[in-house]
Structure 1
Amino acid sequence: MKINFYDESISQNLVVNDRKIVFPSSAFGILRKELVRNIGIDRLKGFLFHFGWETGVNDAKEALKKGLSLEYMIKYGPILHINNGHIRGIRHECNVELDENHNILSYFSTGTWIDSYEAEEHIKQLGKSTSPVCHTLIGYSSGFMSTVGGEPLLAKEVTCVGKGDSECSWILRTQKEWESEMQDELPFYNETPIVKELEYTYEQMLEQKNFVTRLADFQKKITEEITNGSNLQTIANMVYDIVQLPIIIEDIDHQTITYSGLSEVKYLELKDDMEQYIQENAHKNTIKRKEKSLLPFRKKTIKTLNQERLVTPILVQKEVLGYCSFIYEERKNDKYEEDYLFLDRFANAASLILLNEKTKFESFERMKGNFLEQILDGQFTASELIKRGKYTGLDLGQPYYITVMDYKKSQTSIEEEFLLQEKIFDTTFRYFSEKKHNILVCQRDGKMILFITNETLKKPTIYDVMENFHDFMIVKYPQGDFKFGISNVGDGIKHAAKYYEEAMIALRLTGRKKIVPFKTLGIVGVLINSKNISGIKMTAEQELGPLYKMTDPKTKELLKTLYNFLLNGGKLEQTMSDLSLSMSGLRHRINKIESLLEKDLRDPNETHQLLLILKSLIVLGELDIE
């Protein structure tokens, strides 16, 4: 079906220069909502008042052309209100005093608007207000009456349906009569005319559009840099070129990863200033917020005497890996929100780069850990291991040490224990990576195995390295109890399993010590290494006699007492303190042990042999008296 249609309609009554345009009230409601979003609720009041004022002035000028009296014009204003659709009805009372020249001496008018469109639309679009909302209506009334009255007459809304009142009521008086009661509100009646408001709104919208365009372009450039494989320093330099704000990127421990827009001298100055701020506030922060870090999980502004920082975290897999900061040395404006949008996108880019680096680093370290497993299991020949070691950056032809680290495991679920192992594993290889120690790390039987070559150690001894690592772990995990067993220096990669066994033996004899090298075990290490296990057990049974029945709890207490007494060289006071016993209680136990063993514990030959036997049983796992 085809339809052809032609029509032409022209209104003969339309006034071209000042035509009336009809819109539904809901359209004004939508306009009101958009204005609130663009210029804010505070400026909306003046904007709508002047819109109403100019509408009232135009209607008054048209009415004055008819030569009507002031009395009639006062009655005519409410009729125009209704005809324009502003209200459905009105109750109105007015008292006017004129001089002989018909100039207004005093004016007092009160009334109620019935079904104000403005109150209705405000509630629909924005909800209830805390103050009157019929701004175009009071503007219209004020503009109309000021024009017909020949002097400023201002309306004020007293109650309003838009704020929950039962009706919209108003008072209209001369500006002179209002001055004593409306000193705080009069400036609002004299705000920028609507044309200027529109110009300002347009400028604001244009500025916002330009900012959004800049932000989108910024995001595009960052995405391109990430896609091209640029590193964090390159992207930081690009961001500084765009936003012209110095940037510092730090890790979770406040150590700087990179920075841009600062000289090295200035950077060190700001770094020292920030460290001082953290130290001064650390104790207070820990008590009040129970957080380890002063820097936030979300954006924050930090101010010191020398700088101001806008800080946001770098989140990777819901974990804070570091922080991005914009640095302000002289703050000239308050565009934190705009700056934050740039900073947030940069932090997102940094998180992607760090996640990529973290994944590559962890994958490589776990590959090295698997390689250590193969070394300990003797899966390849020595030449093959040395060749493969080159791929990890290690010369396995060099002398080496094997260290076994154990740590206290809390009584938690398997999942929590696994997460703790993963954290400790991650912390371990990151610590040695930062120290420039290229080592192999793996987990075995719930313990951490570390393989360190002499070439990697350079000047520090293996004991010094492990002592520093132990101190670091205690700070990182304050509830932890870390112990280390260190092998003798290894000669020949094919014998790694032997040195692993030495480290395990040393670990079992840590006792009150946190770090025990195998070489300090003396004859105990030699005995166990000789694999003469049956001989050790036979000697132990012969020398310990009835105390060798280690399943009995009372017997175990006596063995623990004997072991500590021998370790302390027979010193009763130290042993009493270690075992939390009274002197009389300790003496009673010693006498009982001597009676059961039929030995004199003051005889050095007897005590030396007994201590050697007890240490051997501990290493073999036959005795647990910790």
Structure 2
Amino acid sequence: MSVRISAENYSQEAVIEDRKIITSASVFGILRKQLAKNIGIKRIKGFLFHYGWEMGVKVAKEALESGSSLEYLIKHGPIIHIQNGHISGIKHDCTYELDKNKRIKNFYSYGTWYDSYEAVEHLKGIGKSNGPVCHTLIGFASGFMSTIFGETLLARETTCVGKGDSECRWVIKPKKEWEQELQEEDALDFYNETPIVKELELTYDQLLDQKNIVTRLAHFQNQLTEEIINGTDLQTIADMVYETVKIPIIVEDAVHSTITYSGLEQEQHLLLKTDMENYLQKTQFHTNPLLPFRKKIIKTSIQERLITPILLQKEVIGYCSFLYEDINNHYQEEDYLFLDRFANASSLILLNEKTKFETFERMKGSFLEQILEGRLPASEMIKRGKYTGVNLEKHYYIAVMEYGKTQGSIEDDFLLEEQIFESTFRYFKNKKQNILAGHRDGSMVLLITTETLQNKTIDDVMQQYFNYMNQKFPQGHFKLGISRRGEDIGQASRCYEEAAIAIRLAVKKKIVQFQSLGIVGVLINSKNISGIKMIAEQELGPLYRFEDPKMLELLKTLYSFLLNGGKLEQTMQDLALSMSGLRHRISRIENLLEKDIREPHEMHQLLLIIKSLIAIGEITFD
């Protein structure tokens, strides 16, 4: 069976401009649901508001053509709401005042919508909302009222059935009043919301910018990696960074001393460096330069810096900075991406340099150990010394530095030993003084040639080093012994013994030269150890029993008394004793020795004996 129907139908009413489309409220509910699905709940507020606004403006313009009064038009708008099926009823109140130019002086309108189709359809299609949902209705009311008054009036729902309220209530006010009232909220954002197309264009531009940044950053990272692999130095990489970003750059160490810079003239660098030092003196950087931060902007009267730390093994070892004339003309976040990667590259380069330097210094320390043990002939020592940059044909001194332990674990002591070793060779490196340094028997050992002294005395050089170490390690409790000047490198072991003897006698003084020991030094140097012990046993009598803690304590009291020239007050302070307690000990010592220890000859002889025992390591006093 085949059926064919053919027909033509036309409207009986001629419609030229404004054709009417008849549809149900549920169709708008479907549209609303699809909009929420495709552009999101947040964006449909602005979309539906502007849709309602345009409807309101069109209706108002048609109404204005009738020449009706303002009062009539205010009443007419809600009726059109009802006729269009938007609501089933309305209750409203409007109060306004115009000036002589018919401009609004005061305006306030409020009311209630009954059976809002938007609220019903929103609940059916999307569900209960967190806020008002009658966006088309407030758009219509806003557009209509703004058109008939000739000024921007905005409607805003205060309660809504769509969010669970019993009624849909609204208020209309001039836009400027809403802005003053809601200035800290985003309630008016959707009134002027950017169209989706414009927003997509902006998003595309932002994504394109981000793509370009990522591409540049990836290329920059590849360049850095390639330079590091090729063993390029920090100055070359700093120049490369400057050529890439066209921003002057400075690399500093942990105490803000310049390591390298690029993009600056020398005079300009010195000016900025001085300015930065003044800034640091006035801020908390002066007392705590290693502040924990990833990015910081520092601004002075003549410079602005974007600064980031250089981290190595979780410690700050320096800083990288970009310098700006006006940081507001730069994209800080983009610049920081490049600066951060440069800081990471700097960390690797400095780690490599640190490793090479420390390896070389440890090799020199091992060489020093061979010298002290006499394992090599003098000619071989001199030959190898040239490879280390130390001329062992010159006269030299051996210094031994002893330091107190941490009273902690073995790991803590090892860490302190490593820190002292590293600080020592970095100190002399910064002073441009080439020495041999190493560890031996828990002490630092230094070999310093007269050439390295640079026209200074060994006393001055060691005093400055001693002060530096005390400042850097206040818990160190350092003592330092210095040998006599050695003339033949083959005698280095003897010089080491002299320095070790001097350090044992460092009681009143923290730095002692062997040559200041006088006759004690001669006695020890002659290796007459058995004779020293025999005389000591004879002269000290019961006090020679060092295994007895009480006798050792009395011997310590005697030594302090003799060092102070028999002055009871000073001895009392040194030993933290009362005067009566000290007098009791002195009396007991004299009884045990059967000697008057205040007699000059006895004092000198006893002091010499005790110093000799200390020098040969027979006894030690904490």
- TM-score, with length taken from structure 2: 0.79
Q: 3-state DSSP class of the match of 1:404?
A: strand
Q: CA deviation at 1:515?
A: 0.9
CA deviation string 1:392-437 (max 9, x = no partner): 1122222221111111112101111111111111111111111111
Q: 3-state DSSP class of the match of 1:397?
A: coil
> CA, structure 1 residues 418+173, in 2 after alignment: closer, same or farther (shift >3 Å)?
same
> CA, structure 1 residues 389+76, in 2 after alignment: closer, same or farther (shift >3 Å)?
farther
**Does residue 314 in structure 1 map to residue 332 in structure 2?**
no
| Residue 620 (structure 1) aligned to one of 591, 610, 616 | 616
Aligned to 2:388: 392
| Residue 588 (structure 2) aligned to one of 579, 588, 592 | 592
Question: Equivalent residues in 2 for 1:72-87 (5 A)?
Answer: 74-75=81-82
Q: 3-state DSSP class of the match of 1:301?
A: strand
**Does residue 354 in structure 1 map to residue 356 in structure 2?**
no
Question: Equivalent residues in 2 for 1:10-25 (5 A)?
Answer: 25=36
> CA, structure 1 residues 118+617, in 2 after alignment: closer, same or farther (shift >3 Å)?
farther
Is the 1:382–1:493 Cα contact (8 Å) retained in structure 2?
A: yes
**Does residue 441 in structure 1 map to residue 448 in structure 2?**
no
Q: CA deviation at 1:536?
A: 0.8
Distance 1:199 1:602 in 2: 101
Is the 1:156–1:170 Cα contact (8 Å) retained in structure 2?
A: no
2:81 maps to amino acid: I
Question: Equivalent residues in 2 for 1:460-479 (5 A)?
Answer: 460-479=456-475
2:231 maps to amino acid: G
Aligned to 1:108: 111
Q: 3-state DSSP class of the match of 1:402?
A: strand
| Residue 261 (structure 1) aligned to one of 257, 260, 263 | 263
Q: CA deviation at 1:620?
A: 2.0
2:368 maps to amino acid: L
| Residue 512 (structure 1) aligned to one of 493, 508, 512 | 508
CA deviation string 1:333-377 (max 9, x = no partner): 473322222221111111111111111111111111111122222
> CA, structure 1 residues 492+198, in 2 after alignment: closer, same or farther (shift >3 Å)?
same
Distance 1:570 1:216 in 2: 78
| Residue 39 (structure 2) aligned to one of 25, 28, 33 | 28
Distance 2:420 2:429 in 1: 14
Q: CA deviation at 1:502?
A: 1.3
Is the 1:404–1:447 Cα contact (8 Å) retained in structure 2?
A: yes
**Does residue 379 in structure 1 map to residue 375 in structure 2?**
yes
Q: 3-state DSSP class of the match of 2:533?
A: helix
539-548 or 449-458, larger mean C-alpha shift: 449-458
Q: 3-state DSSP class of the match of 1:490?
A: coil
Aligned to 1:569: 565
> CA, structure 1 residues 305+370, in 2 after alignment: closer, same or farther (shift >3 Å)?
same
Distance 2:224 2:127 in 1: 44
Distance 1:117 1:247 in 2: 60
Aligned to 1:552: 548
Distance 2:590 2:558 in 1: 10
310-319 or 493-502, larger mean C-alpha shift: 493-502
Aligned to 1:156: 156
Distance 1:120 1:340 in 2: 44
> CA, structure 1 residues 138+477, in 2 after alignment: closer, same or farther (shift >3 Å)?
farther
Question: Equivalent residues in 2 for 1:477-492 (5 A)?
Answer: 477-492=473-488
Distance 1:348 1:616 in 2: 56
Q: 3-state DSSP class of the match of 2:560?
A: helix
Question: Equivalent residues in 2 for 1:284-295 (5 A)?
Answer: 292-293=288-289, 295=291
> CA, structure 1 residues 275+26, in 2 after alignment: closer, same or farther (shift >3 Å)?
same
| Residue 222 (structure 2) aligned to one of 220, 223, 228 | 220
CA deviation string 1:103-132 (max 9, x = no partner): x99673447836859998999xxxxxxxx7
2:249 maps to amino acid: I
Q: 3-state DSSP class of the match of 1:512?
A: coil
Q: 3-state DSSP class of the match of 1:257?
A: strand
Is the 2:402–2:478 Cα contact (8 Å) retained in structure 1?
A: yes
> CA, structure 1 residues 450+332, in 2 after alignment: closer, same or farther (shift >3 Å)?
same
2:315 maps to amino acid: E
> CA, structure 1 residues 303+174, in 2 after alignment: closer, same or farther (shift >3 Å)?
same
CA deviation string 1:471-523 (max 9, x = no partner): 11111112221111111122222222221111111111111211111111122
Q: 3-state DSSP class of the match of 2:297?
A: strand
**Does residue 281 in structure 1 map to residue 278 in structure 2?**
no
> CA, structure 1 residues 267+193, in 2 after alignment: closer, same or farther (shift >3 Å)?
same
CA deviation string 1:578-607 (max 9, x = no partner): 223344443333333223222232332222
Q: 3-state DSSP class of the match of 1:183?
A: helix
Q: CA deviation at 1:547?
A: 1.3
Aligned to 2:247: 245
Q: CA deviation at 1:572?
A: 2.8
Aligned to 1:406: 402
Is the 1:231–1:353 Cα contact (8 Å) retained in structure 2?
A: yes
Name the count of aligned residue pairs.
559
Q: CA deviation at 1:166?
A: 5.6
Q: 3-state DSSP class of the match of 1:456?
A: coil
> CA, structure 1 residues 546+119, in 2 after alignment: closer, same or farther (shift >3 Å)?
farther
2:593 maps to amino acid: L
Is the 1:314–1:351 Cα contact (8 Å) retained in structure 2?
A: yes
229-238 or 325-334, larger mean C-alpha shift: 325-334
Is the 1:302–1:308 Cα contact (8 Å) retained in structure 2?
A: yes
Aligned to 2:494: 498
> CA, structure 1 residues 397+75, in 2 after alignment: closer, same or farther (shift >3 Å)?
farther
Aligned to 1:41: none
Is the 1:114–1:168 Cα contact (8 Å) retained in structure 2?
A: no
CA deviation string 1:445-464 (max 9, x = no partner): 21111122222222112221
Is the 1:297–1:320 Cα contact (8 Å) retained in structure 2?
A: no
| Residue 602 (structure 1) aligned to one of 595, 598, 601 | 598
Distance 2:531 2:34 in 1: 106
Distance 1:448 1:91 in 2: 97
Distance 1:556 1:478 in 2: 29
Is the 1:56–1:143 Cα contact (8 Å) retained in structure 2?
A: yes
1:374 maps to amino acid: Q
1:207 maps to amino acid: D
Distance 1:120 1:273 in 2: 63
> CA, structure 1 residues 336+170, in 2 after alignment: closer, same or farther (shift >3 Å)?
farther
Aligned to 1:335: 331
- Point out where structure 1 has 5 or more consecutive residues left out of the alignment: 1-14, 33-46, 80-89, 99-103, 124-131, 287-291
Distance 2:161 2:478 in 1: 71
Is the 1:154–1:175 Cα contact (8 Å) retained in structure 2?
A: yes
| Residue 455 (structure 1) aligned to one of 435, 438, 451 | 451
Is the 1:313–1:347 Cα contact (8 Å) retained in structure 2?
A: yes
Distance 1:356 1:610 in 2: 56
Q: CA deviation at 1:159?
A: 6.3
Aligned to 2:531: 535
Question: Equivalent residues in 2 for 1:127-166 (5 A)?
Answer: 140-146=136-142, 154-158=154-158
| Residue 213 (structure 2) aligned to one of 211, 222, 242 | 211
| Residue 323 (structure 1) aligned to one of 303, 319, 323 | 319
Aligned to 1:191: 192
Q: CA deviation at 1:623?
A: 1.6
Q: CA deviation at 1:172?
A: 4.2
Q: Identity rate of aligned residues, in percent?
A: 55
Aligned to 1:38: none
Is the 1:107–1:174 Cα contact (8 Å) retained in structure 2?
A: yes
Q: CA RMSD in A?
A: 3.9
Distance 2:570 2:447 in 1: 37
Is the 2:502–2:512 Cα contact (8 Å) retained in structure 1?
A: yes
592-601 or 483-492, larger mean C-alpha shift: 592-601
Q: CA deviation at 1:157?
A: 4.8
Q: CA deviation at 1:573?
A: 2.9
Distance 1:93 1:553 in 2: 106
**Does residue 415 in structure 1 map to residue 416 in structure 2?**
no
Aligned to 1:37: none
Q: CA deviation at 1:48?
A: 5.9
Is the 1:486–1:516 Cα contact (8 Å) retained in structure 2?
A: yes
Is the 1:116–1:168 Cα contact (8 Å) retained in structure 2?
A: no
1:261 maps to amino acid: G
Distance 1:168 1:380 in 2: 102
> CA, structure 1 residues 407+116, in 2 after alignment: closer, same or farther (shift >3 Å)?
farther
